[in-house]
Structure 1
Amino acid sequence: MNYRFQNLLGAPYRGGNVVITKNTQLISPVGNRVSVTDLHKHQAVTLPIYTSSNICRLAASPDGTFLIVVDENKRCLFINVPQRVILHRMSFKERVGALKFSPNGKYFAVGIGKLVEIWQSPGFSRAVFAFERIRTFANSDDKVVSLEWSLDSDYLLVGSKDLAARLFCVRKLKGVLNKPFLLLGHRDSVVGCFFGVDKLTNKVNRAFTIARDGYIFSWGYSGKDINLDEAEDDHSEPPSPDTPERADEVMVENGVGIGTDIKKRKKYDGRGRESEDDDDEEYMHRGKWVLLRKDGFNQGSAKVTACDYHQGLDMVVVGFSNGVFGLYQMPDFICIHLLSVSREKLTTAVFNERGNWLTFGCAKLGQLLVWEWRSESYILKQQGHYFDVNCVTYSPDSQFLATGADDNKVKVWNLTSGSCFITFTEHTNAVTALHFMADNHSLLSASLDGTVRAWDFRRYKNYKTYTTPTPRQFVSLTADPSGDVVCAGTLDSFEIFVWSKKTGQIKDILNGHEAPVHGLMFSPLTQNLASSSWDNTVRLWDVFASKGTVETFQHNHDVLTVTFRPDGKQLASSTLDGQIHFWDTIDGVLMYTIEGRRDIAGGRNMTDRRSAANSTSGKCFTTLCYSADGGYLLAAGNSRYICMYDISDQVLLRRFQISRNLSLDGALDLLNSKKMTEAGPMDLIDDDNSDEEDGIDKQSRGNLGYDLPGSRPNRGRPVIRTKSLSIAPTGRSFAAATTEGVLFFSIDESFIFDPTDLDIDVTPEAVEDAIEDDKVSRALALSMRLNEDSLIKKCIFAVTPADIKAVAISVPQKYLERLMEALVDLLENCPHLEFLLRWCQEICKAHASSIQRNYRNLLPALRSLQKAITRAHQDLADMCSSNEYTLRYLCSVPNNH
Structure 2
Amino acid sequence: MVGVLCPRLKPSLNPNAVSFAAGFSFLSRLCSDPNAMNYRFQNLLGAPYRGGNAVVTQNSQLISPVGNRVSVTDLNKHHTVTLRINTSSNICRLAASPDGTFLIAVDENNRCIFINVPRRVVLHRMDFKGKVGALKFSPNGKFIAVGIGKLVEIWQSPGFSRAVFAFQRVRTFANSDDKVVSLEWSLDSDYLLVGSKDLAARLFCVRKLKGVLNKPYLFLGHRDSVVGCFFGVDKLTNKVNRAFTIARDGYIFSWGYSGNDVKMDEAEDDHSEPPSPDTPEKADEVIVENGGGGIGTDIKKRKVYDGRGRGSDDEEEEDDDEEYMHRGKWVLLRKDGFNQGSAKVTACDYHQGLDMVVVGFSNGVFGLYQMPDFICIHLLSISREKLTTAVFNGSGNWLTFGCAKLGQLLVWEWRSESYILKQQGHYFDVNCITYSPDSQFLATGADDNKVKVWNVASGSCFITFTEHTNAVTALHFMADNHSLLSASLDGTVRAWDFRRYKNYKTYTTPTPRQFVSLTADMSGDVVCAGTLDSFEIFVWSKKTGQIKDILNGHEAPVHGLMFSPLTQILASSSWDNTVRLWDVFASKGTVETFQHNHDVLTVTFRPDGKQLASSTLDGQIHFWDTIDGVLMYTIEGRRDIAGGRNMTDRRTAANSTSGKCFTTLCYSADGGYILAAGTSRYICMYDVSDQVLLRRFEISHNRSLDGVLDFLNSKKMTEAGPMDLIDDDNSDEEDGIDKQSRGNLGYDLPGSRPNRGRPIIRTKSLSIAPTGRSFAAATTEGVLIYSIDESFIFDPTDLDIDVTPEAVEDAIKEEKVSRALALSMRLNEDSLIKKCIFAVSPADIKAVTISVPQKYLERLMEALVDLIENCPHLEFLLHWCQEVCKAHASSIQRNYRSLLPALRSLQKGITRAHQDLTDMCSSNEYTLRYLCSVPNNH
Scaled by the length of structure 1, the TM-score of the pair is: 0.82
Is structure 2 residue 798 aligned with structure 1 residue 761?
no
Q: Is the 8 A contact 2:168 2:293 kept in 1?
A: no
Alpha-carbon separation, structure 2, partners of 1:298 and 1:331:
17
- Alpha-carbon distance, 1:236 to partner: 6.8
Instruction: Encode CA deviations 1:163-194: one digit per residue, 9 max, x unaligned.
Output: 00000000011137311000000000000000
Match 2:816 to one of 771, 775, 779: 775
Q: Is the 8 A contact 2:274 2:327 kept in 1?
A: no
- Alpha-carbon distance, 1:674 to partner: 2.5
Alpha-carbon separation, structure 1, partners of 2:687 and 2:278:
79
Alpha-carbon separation, structure 1, partners of 2:272 and 2:802:
92
Change (3 A) 1:236 1:230: closer
- Alpha-carbon distance, 1:477 to partner: 0.3
Say which SS state the counterpart of residue 702 (structure 1) adopts.
helix
Instruction: Encode CA deviations 1:5-29: one digit per residue, 9 max, x unaligned.
Output: 0000000101000000000000000
Q: Which moved more, 1:445-454 or 1:883-892?
A: 883-892
Instruction: Encode CA deviations 1:819-875: one digit per residue, 9 max, x unaligned.
Output: 999999999999999999999999999999999999999999999999999999999
- Alpha-carbon distance, 1:417 to partner: 0.6
Alpha-carbon separation, structure 2, partners of 1:853 and 1:256:
50
Match 2:726 to one of 685, 692, 696: 685
Q: Is the 8 A contact 2:175 2:286 kept in 1?
A: no
Alpha-carbon separation, structure 1, partners of 2:930 and 2:385:
51
Q: Which moved more, 1:713-722 or 1:344-353?
A: 713-722
Alpha-carbon separation, structure 2, partners of 1:699 and 1:499:
39
Change (3 A) 1:66 1:826: farther
Q: Which moved more, 1:283-292 or 1:119-128?
A: 119-128
Q: Is the 8 A contact 2:497 2:503 kept in 1?
A: yes
Instruction: Encode CA deviations 1:104-131: one digit per residue, 9 max, x unaligned.
Output: 0010100000000000001112222100
Q: Is the 8 A contact 2:169 2:293 kept in 1?
A: no
- Alpha-carbon distance, 1:633 to partner: 0.2
Q: Is the 8 A contact 2:244 2:255 kept in 1?
A: yes
Q: Is the 8 A contact 1:755 1:785 kept in 2?
A: no
Is structure 2 residue 519 aligned with structure 1 residue 482?
no
- Alpha-carbon distance, 1:773 to partner: 25
Q: Which moved more, 1:523-532 or 1:733-742?
A: 523-532
Q: Is the 8 A contact 1:15 1:363 kept in 2?
A: yes
Number of the residue aligned with 1:316: 357
Q: Which moved more, 1:427-436 or 1:863-872?
A: 863-872
Q: Is the 8 A contact 2:407 2:737 kept in 1?
A: no
Alpha-carbon separation, structure 2, partners of 1:81 and 1:261:
29
Q: Is the 8 A contact 2:648 2:722 kept in 1?
A: yes
Alpha-carbon separation, structure 2, partners of 1:84 and 1:685:
37
- Alpha-carbon distance, 1:763 to partner: 37
Alpha-carbon separation, structure 2, partners of 1:318 and 1:810:
47
- Alpha-carbon distance, 1:796 to partner: 16
- Alpha-carbon distance, 1:605 to partner: 1.1
Change (3 A) 1:403 1:880: farther
Change (3 A) 1:586 1:216: same
Match 1:26 to one of 54, 62, 68: 62
- Alpha-carbon distance, 1:440 to partner: 0.5
- Alpha-carbon distance, 1:779 to partner: 26
Say which SS state the counterpart of residue 701 (structure 1) adopts.
helix
Change (3 A) 1:540 1:257: closer
Change (3 A) 1:227 1:416: same
Q: Which moved more, 1:421-430 or 1:856-865?
A: 856-865
Q: Is the 8 A contact 1:579 1:596 kept in 2?
A: yes
Q: Which moved more, 1:182-191 or 1:665-674?
A: 665-674
Q: Is the 8 A contact 2:570 2:584 kept in 1?
A: yes
Match 2:296 to one of 232, 239, 259: 259
Q: Which moved more, 1:50-59 or 1:858-867?
A: 858-867
Q: Which moved more, 1:496-505 or 1:708-717?
A: 708-717
Alpha-carbon separation, structure 2, partners of 1:765 and 1:231:
57
Q: Is the 8 A contact 2:133 2:147 kept in 1?
A: yes
Q: Is the 8 A contact 1:817 1:861 kept in 2?
A: yes
CA RMSD after TM alignment: 11.7
Say which SS state the counterpart of residue 287 (structure 2) adopts.
coil
Alpha-carbon separation, structure 2, partners of 1:336 and 1:87:
42
Say which SS state the counterpart of residue 724 (structure 2) adopts.
helix
Q: Which runs of 5+ in 2 are unaligned?
A: 1-36
- Alpha-carbon distance, 1:673 to partner: 2.8
Scaled by the length of structure 2, the TM-score of the pair is: 0.78
Alpha-carbon separation, structure 1, partners of 2:767 and 2:486:
15
- Alpha-carbon distance, 1:458 to partner: 1.6
- Alpha-carbon distance, 1:800 to partner: 13
Q: Which moved more, 1:301-310 or 1:836-845?
A: 836-845
Higher RCO structure, 1 or 2 (CA under 8 Å, sep 6+): 2
Q: Is the 8 A contact 1:182 1:251 kept in 2?
A: no
- Alpha-carbon distance, 1:615 to partner: 1.3
Q: Which moved more, 1:733-742 or 1:845-854?
A: 845-854
Alpha-carbon separation, structure 1, partners of 2:622 and 2:295:
84
- Alpha-carbon distance, 1:245 to partner: 11
Q: Which moved more, 1:602-611 or 1:333-342?
A: 602-611
Alpha-carbon separation, structure 2, partners of 1:579 and 1:796:
57
Say which SS state the counterpart of residue 312 (structure 1) adopts.
coil
Number of the residue aligned with 2:135: 99
Number of the residue aligned with 1:426: 467
Instruction: Encode CA deviations 1:790-831: one digit per residue, 9 max, x unaligned.
Output: 999999999999999999999999999999999999999999
Match 1:675 to one of 713, 716, 722: 716
- Alpha-carbon distance, 1:671 to partner: 3.3
Match 2:100 to one of 64, 70, 89: 64
Q: Which moved more, 1:231-240 or 1:619-628?
A: 231-240
Alpha-carbon separation, structure 1, partners of 2:436 and 2:458:
15
Alpha-carbon separation, structure 2, partners of 1:633 and 1:521:
16
- Alpha-carbon distance, 1:683 to partner: 1.2
Say which SS state the counterpart of residue 385 (structure 2) adopts.
coil
Q: Is the 8 A contact 1:730 1:860 kept in 2?
A: no
Alpha-carbon separation, structure 2, partners of 1:753 and 1:264:
45
Q: Is the 8 A contact 1:755 1:786 kept in 2?
A: no
Q: Is the 8 A contact 1:176 1:268 kept in 2?
A: no
Change (3 A) 1:421 1:894: farther
Instruction: Encode CA deviations 1:410-431: one digit per residue, 9 max, x unaligned.
Output: 1111111110011111111111
Match 1:464 to one of 469, 485, 505: 505
Instruction: Encode CA deviations 1:234-264: one digit per residue, 9 max, x unaligned.
Output: 3778899997999999999999999999999
- Alpha-carbon distance, 1:883 to partner: 36
Change (3 A) 1:379 1:311: same
Q: Is the 8 A contact 1:441 1:456 kept in 2?
A: yes
Is structure 2 residue 200 aligned with structure 1 residue 159?
no
Q: Is the 8 A contact 1:249 1:291 kept in 2?
A: no
Number of the residue aligned with 2:238: 202
Is structure 2 residue 217 aligned with structure 1 residue 176?
no
Q: Is the 8 A contact 1:776 1:807 kept in 2?
A: yes
Change (3 A) 1:514 1:253: closer
Number of the residue aligned with 1:232: 268
Say which SS state the counterpart of residue 811 (structure 2) adopts.
helix
Number of the residue aligned with 1:385: 426
Say which SS state the counterpart of residue 402 (structure 1) adopts.
strand
Change (3 A) 1:575 1:360: same
Alpha-carbon separation, structure 2, partners of 1:543 and 1:27:
51
Instruction: Encode CA deviations 1:417-473: one digit per residue, 9 max, x unaligned.
Output: 110011111111111000000111111000001000111122111110111001000
Alpha-carbon separation, structure 1, partners of 2:182 and 2:113:
20
Number of the residue aligned with 2:391: 350
Is structure 2 residue 859 aligned with structure 1 residue 818?
yes
- Alpha-carbon distance, 1:275 to partner: 9.3
Q: Which moved more, 1:441-450 or 1:760-769?
A: 760-769
1:334-413 correspondence to structure 2 within 5 Å: 334-413=375-454
Alpha-carbon separation, structure 1, partners of 2:201 and 2:807:
73
Say which SS state the counterpart of residue 695 (structure 2) adopts.
strand
Alpha-carbon separation, structure 2, partners of 1:311 and 1:112:
26
Q: Is the 8 A contact 1:570 1:582 kept in 2?
A: yes
Say which SS state the counterpart of residue 741 (structure 2) adopts.
coil
Instruction: Encode CA deviations 1:343-396: one digit per residue, 9 max, x unaligned.
Output: 000000001110011111000000000000111100000001111000011000
Instruction: Encode CA deviations 1:116-169: one digit per residue, 9 max, x unaligned.
Output: 000000111222210000000000000000000000000000000000000000
Change (3 A) 1:256 1:454: closer
Change (3 A) 1:284 1:387: same
Alpha-carbon separation, structure 1, partners of 2:801 and 2:316:
79
Alpha-carbon separation, structure 2, partners of 1:715 and 1:882:
85
